[in-house]
Amino acid sequence: MSKMIKTFLSFVTAFTLAFALVPTAFADSHTEEEQDIVEIALGNENFSILVSALQRADLVETLQGDGPFTVFAPTNQAFMDLLEALDVTAEELLAQPDLANVLTYHVVPGKVLAGDLTDGLEADTVNGQAVTFDLSGDPMVNDSMIVDTDIEASNGVVHVIDKILVPDNFELQEVDMEEDDVPETGIESSSFLLIGMISAAAAFVFVLVYKPNKQ
């Protein structure tokens, strides 16, 4: 077998190994430590609009704090339903001056699990206004159904809801939009890890194959 073929096979092996190690690397990083609330949102594509909203409202660092916090996390569909009801675009909604007040209306201080809820319970939110729970049928917080519960995080717990909780003091305002005003998600960081692992594999092949040939 020629040196060229051996080199090619070695590179293919290392390249394949790099791809095989990528999911392992991600699995290790997420299983060794419990994720915080923001990391849980980042890891679920159904929360991508919520993540953008948290970034725009400068609440990411807050929800990465010690807490604990209880977050009622609206899905992308919940945001889309609100956009249709308000007749605005996602960009216009995320540019609202009162965005932070809406988002903090979804956060209750402390860790409140599903088993801690009672029918008629009222809980103060970080916004300052209270939300009310109705457990007489499907579990509800205000007029939003709680569709998933007790997603535990290192700094609290997440419950999934199907409708945006809108506080009484929210007023839709006219906003000036800028085309390049798009929040960063940070998800692209996985690409850099993949590139780094492939580069390392290529260097490994060079050391094993080319260096001995020179001796």
**Mean pLDDT across the stretch 168-182?**
67
Between 134 and 16, name the one with better pLDDT: 134
Three-state secondary structure readout of the chain: CCHHHHHHHHHHHHHHHHHHHHHHHHHHHHHCCCCCHHHHHHCCHHHHHHHHHHHHCCCHHHHCCCCCEEEEEECHHHHHHHHHHHCCCHHHHHCCCCHHHHHHCCEEECCCCHHHCCCCCEEECCCCCEEEEECCCCCEECCEEEEEEEEEECCEEEEEECCCCCCCCCCCCCCCCCCCCCCCCCCCHHHHHHHHHHHHHHHHHHHHHHHHHHC
Q: What does the pLDDT read at residue 100?
A: 93
Q: What does the pLDDT read at residue 145?
A: 97
Q: Residue 194 pLDDT more than 80? A: no
pLDDT tens digit string along 3-61? 554 544 454 444 444 444 444 444 444 444 689 999 999 999 999 999 999 999 999 99
Confidence of residue 169 (pLDDT cuts 50, 70, 90): confident
Q: What is the pTM of this model?
A: 0.67
pLDDT tens digit string along 153-167? 999 999 999 999 999
Q: What does the pLDDT read at residue 144?
A: 96
